[in-house]
Structure 1
């Protein structure tokens, strides 16, 4: 069993959660508009070029590095337990991680462009709408990651039933938000569905990271005294 890659995966999972929570708290405290905000609110926010956007953009690549390492740790842990039972599920989860990273790159890129300033109100509004659409569509990647890695964990005995139920619930909520992107961009109940799924995703990921760290502990093997062979007299 490759314990080092499993341990790195657990640490990377916790690192991802830390980065994501930090970025969201910074943007929230800076007053970033929510879905359904008016063009005037969006224009006023980015006209101030808040420092929070600069810092969030700098931290985003760390999350993109941590997530594949986490998925790789799950892949190593499940295949170490049973390569046949893990089947293709951890590979599907790893592929979805790269898909999610690609989509979220668009989210970060639109924020950088908006924060650069010098854009007309029409262009600012258009980029903001693109930002929101990419953010909601990004939830589809999260649902695939959770579904695939949860199934892989359950099949190999790495994931407990309560943990699996949280993953299934979060995947359902994020998938629902993703397929109703147009409604979610306007805010309201659909936005809350996506938010609930996102919170559960962070809880699911934190728990899975702890599971990987525990699985990476070397198992102590008790020493067994050699048995002397007794020779029977002739």
Structure 2
């Protein structure tokens, strides 16, 4: 059971990394407004929403499935290596993955409402501001995921120290972005810190996916080598 969870967790991590890059590419090329955009820019964009925004919204639930599966795979791999060293950190990461799904659900939901149209100018602007706040506050869930699963991985020898360091440094950047949300609702240089943290998150996640696939393969080979051979009487 654990072996299956580890392998599927690795596939889920790689799938999530690819999916999140595809979604961001779709929204970026569609010209999604950024924090600091004017009400007129927001209204113009969502009044002429094209298929790229619709597709990105439709893909989001798939990502919400993949992320907890990845965290569960890390928990299974850490436990297989050392229950004591893994401690409760994998469970913290799994909880944060669910937290991330809830917060980012707010981002996608407000985006869907804006795309549906038929809102007054004031209501549309309020929904957009809520979208921006959800997006920024969501960074703390990514910070918890990276910090907790980095600690679990390095303590059990599942990941290398550089990988854990990348996760913890990126977690720090994401935490700063989240706690300073009121300061950059209208844009600002902290947005660049968020972008750097996001790119580090994707690299960290994809690398963890490869680690889990290798761990699953190694465990399978050990299991096959130690399997008792039946002797015919």
Partner of 2:221: 219
What value does the CA root-mean-square deviation take over the aligned residues?
1.5
Partner of 1:69: 69
Contact 1:49-1:116 at 8 Å conserved across structures: no
As a proportion of its length, which structure holds more helix? Answer: 2
Number of corresponding residues: 225
* Residue 188 (structure 1) shift: 1.6
**Gaps in structure 2 of 5+ consecutive residues:** none
> Could you tell me how far apart the structure 2 residues matched to 1:223 and 1:158 are?
24
Contact 1:17-1:205 at 8 Å conserved across structures: yes
> Could you tell me how far apart the structure 2 residues matched to 1:84 and 1:54 are?
46
Structure 1 length-normalised TM: 0.93
CA displacement, residues 144-185 of structure 1 (integer Å, 9 cap, x when unaligned):
000100000011000101101110111010000000001222
> Could you tell me how far apart the structure 2 residues matched to 1:19 and 1:185 are?
26
Partner of 2:18: 18
Contact 1:19-1:63 at 8 Å conserved across structures: yes
**Gaps in structure 1 of 5+ consecutive residues:** 226-234
> Could you tell me how far apart the structure 2 residues matched to 1:51 and 1:117 are?
15
Residues 143-158 of structure 1 aligned to structure 2 (within 5 Å)? 143-158=143-158
- Change in 2 beyond 3 A, CA 1:152/1:118: same
Structure of higher CA gyration radius:
1
Contact 1:100-1:142 at 8 Å conserved across structures: yes
> Could you tell me how far apart the structure 2 residues matched to 1:125 and 1:223 are?
63
Contact 1:185-1:191 at 8 Å conserved across structures: no
* Residue 122 (structure 1) shift: 1.0
* Residue 133 (structure 1) shift: 0.2
> Could you tell me how far apart the structure 2 residues matched to 1:158 and 1:199 are?
22
Residues 51-66 of structure 1 aligned to structure 2 (within 5 Å)? 51-66=51-66
* Runs of 4+ with deviation above 3 angstroms: 222-225
